[in-house]
Amino acid sequence: MDESSILITPDLVRHYHQTGYVLLPAALNATDLALLREECDALVNHCSLENDLVTQLG
């Protein structure tokens, strides 16, 4: 297993089935996370300016 691999344990699977989500703190590196945040901010800002969050985001 290399450094970028994430081990999905039985406890994580159980948590997912119970709650519908799992937190994976190391799933994205800092660069990818920063890009994702920028894109999310741009999308929210665009939708906010259009005053139509429901239509834009579904």
The DSSP line for the chain is: --TT-----HHHHHHHHHHS----TTSS-HHHHHHHHHHHHHHHHHHHHHT-HHHHH-
16 part of a folded domain: no
46 part of a folded domain: yes
36 part of a folded domain: yes
Domain range enclosing 36 = 27-58
26-46 pLDDT, tens digit per residue, is 888 999 999 999 999 998 888
Q: Specify the number of domains making up the chain.
A: 1
Q: How far apart are the C-alpha atoms of 51 and 11, rounded to whole Å?
A: 42
4-18 pLDDT, tens digit per residue, is 678 889 999 999 999
Q: How far apart are the C-alpha atoms of 7 and 3, rounded to whole Å?
A: 11
21 part of a folded domain: no
